[in-house]
Amino acid sequence: MNGLINRAIQCFLRDGWGMAAWLDAARAAGVAPRGFEPMLDYPPEVTARLLQAASDRLDRSADDLLEDLGTYLVSHPSRAAVRRLLRFGGTDFREFLQSLEDLPARARLALPDLALPAMRLEPVGGDEFRLTIAPGFAGAGAVALGLLRAMADDYGALAVLEAGTEASDGAAEGAAVLTIRLLDADHAEGRAFTLGAV
Amino acid sequence: MEARFELGAEALARLMPMHLALDGAGRILSAGGTLARLIGGMDGAAFGDLFDLRHGAPVGSVSALLRVGGGKVQLEVRGRPDLAFRGLAVPMGPGEGALVNLSFGIGVVEAVRRFALTEADFAPTDLTVELLYLYEAKTAVLEELRALNVRLQGDKVVAEEQAVTDALTGLRNRRGLDLAVEAVTEPDFALVHLDLDRFKAVNDGLGHAAGDHVLLVVARILSEESRRGDTVARIGGDEFVLLMPGMDRAEPALARIARIIDRLSEPIPYGDAVCRIGASAGLILSAQVPGADVAQMLAHADAALYAAKRAGRGRVLLWRPDMAGE
């Protein structure tokens, strides 16, 4: 089900940088201009090639791009469905963080073929958490960083998120670690979410 | 003696936001907050005045309610057929009262939307929010699949069209001709095999671009001269086949083809140059060879074409059995 992920990158490039940026990256990556079908599978190396091509074309590091992709998935109007499905995770940002461990199972309920990395959330003191993302999904840490920052905004919470160092935290090799400090859960109004909007 | 527990009304409301506690006379002692928001004026009202069993039967006494299907009840609010619930009624003491816990059942998706229900309207143990999540996720997936199907269908139409079309001229190709022949429903039809004369000289003398130009002009003339229901196909470099359904006599077919050959023999300008070609053709009518298949008919048309070439080109000949061996 990596078509969904490839398609998200395609839309992110198109919506964020314009059709020309997408077409250039697609050409450089050997992808047809029409791009990806979200419900189909593609060879796994295509995703890496596309990201590299986009990174070259836009002169931004892959991690920067992926972080923006995470933000885009939550905050762009064309991705409203993703944002809504994430908001089902909890009524406030803290509850949402705690629901992250269920995210792979939730994703599988929606799409049995959609594999997301396992995640573990550990409290480090009262309002500080450490999120460990299992290895095997290159770039997942950067995407999660942008996505969680955007979700904090969505809930109206004030939180500081940082990419942690991996090995020193005792995580498995290749795992991504994020630290999340929740400064104020009710900092701002947040965006409205009603259960029965569809 | 069965163990008994004491539970405050507030705890009951948190545990079951859609409950009703009834006394022995069927009066409502307390109602969960979600239910109270949907149905006003319940405190102290008689249960039987507000609710009916579904399918119209009035609720009798509390003891009757407890007996219906072992306490499993389907209820609707009187005068509000849009507000339907399923629930379970169990005895509740002291006295002969009952506790009825309700749920929307399958109508919950609609109810959440209509009454703007929120997470707070459901107990944390209730899976309604998960159900809504799943409903929304599956709806999104279904939308994607539907869009995919529309795109694939569009691709399929284009691919099918391309598969039967000659890329240069836009006429049918060999496969398109075969399909057109299969689709002919009339018993009588004519098949014409037409070959350009002196086309090689154009290609050799003026180049392939000139040759392509000539082929496009030929295709245009053939299309202009064809009638509704006819099929014009390019089946080789400068070979064309015309399928004319409804043709049962040779004379009108021969006249039409002669006219086509006349037009094809007119000079075709190409830049500063002029291309001079012509055409020869062989005709066969289905009526001449009852029961023959398309391959046989094409072979006969080809034999007639060959005879036309040998007879000096620039003409059309009707197939005759004595041409078969040539």
* Residues in A touching B108 (Cβ below 8 Å): none
| B119 & B133 share domain | no
Using alpha carbons only, how large is chain B's radius of gyration in Å?
Answer: 42
Mean pLDDT, residues A17-25 taken together = 95
Asked, for residue B295, whether it belongs to a domain, the answer is yes
The pair of three-digit structure tokens given for residue B238, joined into one six-digit string: 């400068």
| B223 & B137 share domain | no
Q: Among B119, B136, B151, whose Cβ lies nearest the Cβ of A85?
A: B136
* Contact B123/A at CB under 8 A: no
* Alpha-carbon distance A4 to nearest alpha carbon in chain B (angstroms): 10
pTM for this structure?
0.76
Residues A150 and A96: their CA atoms lie apart, in Å, by 12
Interface of B with A in 294-323 (CB under 8 A): none
| CATH number listed for the domain at residues A72-184 | 3.90.1520.10
C-alpha A50 chain-centroid distance: 17
Asked if B155 is an active-site residue, the reply is no
| B112 & B195 share domain | no
* Alpha-carbon distance A40 to nearest alpha carbon in chain B (angstroms): 9
**CATH code, domain carrying B66:** 3.30.450.260
Asked, for residue B286, whether it belongs to a domain, the answer is yes
Residue B185 pLDDT: 83
* Alpha-carbon distance B4 to nearest alpha carbon in chain A (angstroms): 35
Asked, for residue B51, whether it belongs to a domain, the answer is yes
N-to-C CA span, chain B: 110
Q: Among B109, B120, B137, whose Cβ lies nearest the Cβ of A110?
A: B137
Question: Phi/psi class of residue B297: alpha, beta or left (left: φ > 0; alpha: ψ in -120 to 50)?
Answer: alpha
For B56-74, the DSSP string reads GPBP--HHHHHHGGGGEEE
* Alpha-carbon distance A90 to nearest alpha carbon in chain B (angstroms): 9
Model confidence at A171: pLDDT above 70: no
* Residues in A touching B109 (Cβ below 8 Å): 196
* Contact B144/A at CB under 8 A: yes
The count of structural domains within chain B is: 3
- Is the Cβ pair A39, B140 closer than 8 Å? no
Report the percent of chain A where pLDDT is more than 70. Answer: 95
Residue A1 pLDDT: 61
Please report the number of interchain residue pairs, chain A to chain B, with beta-carbon separation below 8 angstroms: 54
Residues B138 and B121: their CA atoms lie apart, in Å, by 23
Model confidence at A55: pLDDT above 90: yes
Model confidence at B324: pLDDT above 70: no
| B217 & B315 share domain | yes
Residues B272 and B285: their CA atoms lie apart, in Å, by 41
What's chain A's average pLDDT? 91
| B140 & B264 share domain | no
- Is the Cβ pair A81, B140 closer than 8 Å? yes
Mutant choice from A41, A87, A88, A195 vs B, greatest count of B C-beta within 10 A: A195
- Find all residues with CB under 8 Å of B17, minimum gap 6, and list them: B32, B33, B34, B35, B121, B122, B123
N-to-C CA span, chain A: 24
Confidence of residue B326 (pLDDT cuts 50, 70, 90): very low
Residues B64 and B69: their CA atoms lie apart, in Å, by 10
* CA-closest candidate to residue B51, choices B68, B74, B67, B29: B74
Question: At B79, which amino acid appears?
Answer: G
CB atoms closer than 10 angstroms to residue A87: 22
Model confidence at B152: pLDDT above 50: yes
CB atoms closer than 10 angstroms to residue B99: 21
SS3 letters across B129-155: HHHHHHHHHHHHHHHHHHHHHHHHHHH
Range of the domain at B46: 9-123
| B247 & B106 share domain | no
* B278 vs A113, higher pLDDT: B278
Q: Which residue of A has its CA nearest to B128?
A: A195
The pair of three-digit structure tokens given for residue A48, joined into one six-digit string: 């890496």
**CATH code, domain carrying B297:** 3.30.70.270
| B155 & B178 share domain | no
What's chain B's average pLDDT? 91
Residue B106 pLDDT: 87
Catalytic residue among B52, B166, B238, B302: B238
Q: What is the pLDDT of residues B307-319, one digit of tens each?
A: 999 999 999 999 9
- Is the Cβ pair A198, B139 closer than 8 Å? yes
Q: Among A39, A197, A198, whose Cβ lies nearest the Cβ of B144?
A: A39
User: Of B163, B184, B212, at which residue does a domain stop?
Assistant: B163
- Is the Cβ pair A39, B138 closer than 8 Å? no
- Is the Cβ pair A110, B119 closer than 8 Å? no
* Residues in A touching B151 (Cβ below 8 Å): 37
Question: Phi/psi class of residue A175: alpha, beta or left (left: φ > 0; alpha: ψ in -120 to 50)?
Answer: beta
* Residues in A touching B114 (Cβ below 8 Å): 196
- Is the Cβ pair B109, A196 closer than 8 Å? yes
Q: Which residue of B has its CA nearest to A36?
A: B148
- Is the Cβ pair B148, A111 closer than 8 Å? no
Mean pLDDT, residues B190-201 taken together = 95
| B269 & B200 share domain | yes
Q: What is the pLDDT of residues A100-156, one digit of tens each?
A: 999 999 999 888 888 899 999 999 988 999 999 999 888 899 999 999 999 999 999
Domain spans of chain A, in order of start: 2-60, 72-184
| B300 & B181 share domain | yes
- Is the Cβ pair A196, B132 closer than 8 Å? yes
Model confidence at B304: pLDDT above 50: yes
Asked, for residue B146, whether it belongs to a domain, the answer is yes
Per DSSP, chain B holds a count of helices (H) and strands (E) of 11, 13
Note whether B168 and B215 are within 8 A (CB). yes
Whether the CA torsion B139, B140, B145, B150 is positive or negative: it is positive
Q: What is the pLDDT of residues B61-88, one digit of tens each?
A: 888 888 888 889 999 998 888 899 999 9
Q: Among B137, B145, B148, whose Cβ lies nearest the Cβ of A85?
A: B137
* Alpha-carbon distance B312 to nearest alpha carbon in chain A (angstroms): 53
Question: At B265, which amino acid appears?
Answer: S
| B155 & B188 share domain | no
Q: Which residue of A has its CA nearest to B118?
A: A195
- Is the Cβ pair A196, B145 closer than 8 Å? no
- Is the Cβ pair A88, B109 closer than 8 Å? no
- Is the Cβ pair B132, A195 closer than 8 Å? yes
| B233 & B292 share domain | yes
Model confidence at A47: pLDDT above 90: yes
* CA-closest candidate to residue A69, choices A133, A136, A123, A139: A139
Confidence of residue B55 (pLDDT cuts 50, 70, 90): confident
| B27 & B115 share domain | yes
Model confidence at A198: pLDDT above 80: no
Residue identified by tokens 């000079």 is B267
Residues A164 and B172: their CA atoms lie apart, in Å, by 64
Question: At B200, which amino acid appears?
Answer: K
C-alpha A8 chain-centroid distance: 10
* Contact B139/A at CB under 8 A: yes
Note whether A121 and A138 are within 8 A (CB). no
The pair of three-digit structure tokens given for residue A63, joined into one six-digit string: 């991690």
Q: Which residue numbers of A have CB closer than 8 Å to B's CBs?
A: 37-40, 81, 84-85, 88, 91, 106, 109-111, 194-198
* E strand segments, chain B: 19-22, 28-31, 51-53, 72-77, 80-92, 97-103, 189-197, 231-234, 239-245, 268-270, 273-275, 278-285, 316-318
